[in-house]
Amino acid sequence: MELHETNIKEIITRLSLDQKLALLTGKDGWTTVAVESLGIPSITVSDGPHGLRQVEQIVDGREVIRKAVCFPTSAAMAATWNPSLVCQVGKALGEECQANEVDILLGPGTNIKRTPLCGRNFEYFSEDPLLAGELAAAYIEGVQSTGVGTSLKHFATNNQETDRHQISTEVDIRALREIYLKPFEIAVKKARPWTVMCAYNRLHGIYCSENQFLLNDVLKEEWGFQGIVVSDWGAVYDRAKALKASLELEMPFKDRSVANLKEAYQNGEINNADIDTALERLLRIVFYAARNRQKRVKVYEADRHHTLAKQAALEAITLLKNETQALPVQKNQVKKLAVIGGLAENPVIQGGGSAHVQTDKVESPLFWIKELAGEEIQVDYFPAYMSGQPAIAELNQAIAGAQTADMALVFAGNRNGIESESYDRAAITLLPEMEQTIIKVAAQNPNTVVVIQAGSAVDMTAWIDKVKAVVFNWYAGQAGGSALAEILFGMANPCGKIAETFPLRLEDNPAYATYPGNGHASWYAEGIMVGYRYYDSYHKEVLFPFGHGLSYTNFDYRDLKIIPESAAENDEVTVSFMVRNSGKMPGKEIVQLYVRDRVCKVLRPDKELKGFKKVELQPGEEQPVEMKLDRTAFAYFNSSLNKWHVESGEFEIIVGASSRDIRLAGSVTIRGENDFS
């Protein structure tokens, strides 16, 4: 990060104690304190991982939110497995911040999806730390390329919303390092966010805002983070302890915070060095942000951003099941289409809470289905259920319509209010009226296709065997309607893959026994066995495995090469292979590289993702794919040595289309450390 040349230390010497303490907390909900006499500006921050959520004003105690473009949520963006596309979306978000005079965008969220119940999973990328970290880094690089800062959040182990203000996450050091801190480490080192936002919860009994191990020892000393730590809104419980732990900026403004700091200063609990060190880091960001305002644009191209949102939705939407090639819709076979469910007309495009974007342009899937059907297909629409309540007459009409249709297209999902900040989901099944609608429609029409709008895994066991195809639409943002229709009619080829395992049922989740804790503590008894690491290691049947997603074409893999075949732990290993589109339609394949440690002195997962690429191929086209593995691909965190460790031995290199669709395998011998001395 390039820093402003202002003599910050000299400015600090001219500040009074009261001015210094005031600078360490917000001016209000969204801006920092200015000291105009010394040239210290105020900067503005705003919510918005998948769209700018800027508070314009407060009217009668209610926030008035500025309209902005709503992109697909982070869970959907993760399904693209496309860092370049995520970077483009980040850049567009930065442009919208510029036009609205926002200096720092509060995102991305990169917490691990430990349980599918977490209410904010739609805001997070993945259950896998490498994928989450790489996508977070791409997002940060995109936003910050515009001169707008980011806030990587929520640091750390904010994996549930239940009891988030008091729960203590009790996780062993190895799991903490390998799973929960890893995505933050990747993003911090690779993309250098301006700020990192601490989480609400405690870690090992200490609030994250007061946790010196997290904020100073790991983040700043070990990872070399040069920015500032900002609190989540209301996540500071003792301002003096937070300052001592290396939290520079508390948000939002609180009357008691300055008084707390002053009392602690007078009691000797904090000193001038603590205050001035925090101020120096804070002011470096403030001046840097102010300087970057020179790059600001006054307006952004909303139509271009809408087009980008559609491109992102096209790459995110995931085809989970397609029995007998029910999709795409063939106009020579389907002459009458029954579209069932209110979400077809009024889709759910995002989750709730501080990430909720106000947008005035939302595409209706129903409208675009009718547009693409044209005069060749009769489209009959049946809401079936309204406002979450079963309507018998409407349902009967839908069933009757399904009986006479060539295909029934049922829209279901998690309505507004089910996935949100501040609380978790109560279940991962759909609402009973939705499940019953799917079952009853499928009983009348053997060619039933289900479209799911949701931000995290859904239990489909009650009905999945009764339908021909399932399209997981995610929360696809404002342009998802036309994107979905184009995929349904084969104008676009689905190329999304899930970035989280879909279990058969909630009880199968490895965190099930200990989530959400007892109100005071939540024990991460599963350790490193999170997501596919657990399901694949213990051969558990799943609904859909990590990395799964179907296409309208086929891809063949061949000619795996691993060079060298034997390497020292600090050497680079190159893995290459060929991928061919052997079908009849252009498509994009997400290739995944996993590493398995065949023999190890400690428990390791069956396989771990260590590389991925998205490859676009025309029918019959073949391309080489190359990935490089460094020491991190073979290391685990040794809790006895308190460091990353590589054991000597043979490692299997696994290439697949998902964690369970393995296409190629080979091995490399790594010369590492065999003992713990």
Catalytic residue among 103, 128, 232, 597: 232
3-state SS track over 563-585: ECCEEECCCCEEEEEEEEECCCC
Known active-site residue 232: yes
Measuring CA to CA, which residue among 83, 256, 233, 251 is closest to residue 164?
Answer: 233
Structure tokens at 300: 């952004």
Measuring CA to CA, which residue among 645, 652, 551, 639 is closest to residue 597?
Answer: 652
Q: Which residues pair with 62 in a beta bridge?
A: 59
Half-sphere exposure in the Cβ direction for 371 (13 Å, CA): 13
| Residue 165 near residue 119 (C-beta atoms within 8 A) | no
Measuring CA to CA, which residue among 431, 352, 421, 427 is closest to residue 162?
Answer: 421
| Residue 97 near residue 105 (C-beta atoms within 8 A) | yes
Distance CA 126, CA 113 (A): 6
Structure tokens at 36: 């105009």
Query: How large is the angle between the packed helices 302-316 and 480-488, nearest 10 degrees?
Result: 40
Token pair 């590289």: residue: 593
Number of Cβ within 10 Å of residue 665's Cβ equals 13
First to last CA, the chain: 39
Return all residues near 555 (Cβ < 8 A) that are at least 6 apart: 579, 580, 581, 582, 583, 587, 589, 617, 657
Which residues are marked as active site? 232
